[in-house]
Amino acid sequence: MQHMKIKPGKGGNFYVPFENRTGNESIVYFTRDLSPEGLQKIYDKVSGNLTGKVAVKLHTGEQNGPNIIPRPWVQALLENRLPDAAIVETNTYYEGDRYTTAQHRETLQVNGWTFADVDILDEDGTAMLPVRDGKWFTEMSVGKNLLNYDSMLTLTHFKGHTQGGFGGSNKNIGIGCADGRIGKAMIHTTPGQPDQWDIAKEEFMERMTESTKSVIDHFGKHVTYINVLRNMSVSCDCEGIHAMPVVTPNIGIVASTDILAADQASIDLVYALTEQDHADLVERIESRHGLRQLTYMKELGMGNDKYILIDLDNDEAKIVAKDAVTHVTPFVK
């Protein structure tokens, strides 16, 4: 259920440099190897707690969307590491290619997600998960089939987002596990408002993050996070062929068992790019106050925004974000 509306916190449009952060450090792995082999290599570093029946939370995209994680990469990962896992998704809150289960199934066929089971979590109804210590919610509505899994691999295409500023692991779970009619409405819409997207900026980031917290509290230690920083448009994969052109260089893949560290490291890598290379994406993130996702995850005790970055391409050396992006090929507009 929803709490009464209260004034949200501020600061989602201000980037906090690493040296200004406090608290403990988590481990984040990094590789520049954007390939099926690179994905499997980094997966092996963070997969130790994935036991039992594994859900792979993936954004499978609108029909013919150009920027999603390449299907052959996912197929190789599942065949070689997770042969019994299922890809999991939920239906959308907006009317489109994935609004109903039937439409969603057709889109999965069009996009080639045919090599593994795909479980549309809200196909058979919804379930409520508790939200502990939330500002906006005491519980969140998710696709009921989520409860059938023991562990979750959050496999995320990191990119911009029209509403959230950026889409990392937090959005992949918080929006992607909330069911298409109840949960997503709780996050996006003030009850009685005609505009289904009226909740924005800090409040939206906080609601989305509380939804995420309900899911990762449910799985406990049996959840892990991989962000693929490739084909990063300012638009989300939900915009499909209508997404804005990619103008950000490809960076690599990060992974952690700490959701905040994974998303924070991804943001740090984007900010470590040159002004020319990150200007559009940073503008999208800050104009939507997307950085509130990170500070609110920290306030809710969901992880650490300080981390040790481990370079898997160079004997697991400890590096900083600036070191990680020295290899990038500047994007030519």
The domain ranges of the chain are 18-324
d(CA 323, CA 272): 9
For Cα atoms 323, 329, 332, give the angle at the middle one, nearest 5 degrees.
135
d(CA 305, CA 265): 8
Q: Label residues 182-216 b or e (16+ Cβ within 10 Å = b).
A: ebbbbbbbeeeeeeeeebbbbbbbbbbbbbbbbbb
Q: Label residues 259-290 b or e (16+ Cβ within 10 Å = b).
A: bbbbbbbbbbbbbbbeeebbebbbebbbebbb
| CA of residue 153 relative to chain centroid, distance | 11
pLDDT averaged per 10 residues, the chain (length 333): 43 94 98 98 98 97 86 98 98 94 96 96 98 97 98 97 94 98 98 94 97 98 98 71 72 98 98 95 96 98 98 98 92 62
pLDDT value at position 66? 73
pLDDT value at position 298? 98
pLDDT value at position 6? 39
pLDDT value at position 241? 52
Question: Where does the chain have alpha helices with state H?
Answer: 36-46, 71-81, 101-110, 169-174, 183-188, 201-219, 259-272, 275-287, 292-299, 321-324
pLDDT value at position 93? 96
Q: Is 155 exposed, middle or buried (0-12, 13-18, 19+ CB in 10 A)?
A: buried
Contact status, residue 224 vs residue 257, Cβ threshold 8 Å: yes
pLDDT value at position 65? 78
Q: Strands 252-256 and 25-31, how do they pair?
A: antiparallel
Considering only CA atoms, give the Rg of the chain. Answer: 18
pLDDT value at position 4? 36
Amino acid of residue 150: D
Contact status, residue 227 vs residue 168, Cβ threshold 8 Å: yes
Question: How many other CB atoms are there within 10 angstroms of residue 217's CB atom?
Answer: 16
d(CA 206, CA 197): 15
pLDDT value at position 243? 52
Q: Which CATH number fits domain 18-324: 3.30.590, 3.40.50, 2.40.50, 2.60.40?
A: 3.40.50
Contact status, residue 42 vs residue 255, Cβ threshold 8 Å: yes
Contact status, residue 227 vs residue 260, Cβ threshold 8 Å: no
d(CA 77, CA 213): 26
pLDDT value at position 330? 77
The pTM (predicted TM-score) of the whole model is 0.95
With tokens 């490739």, the residue in question is: 230
pLDDT value at position 62? 87
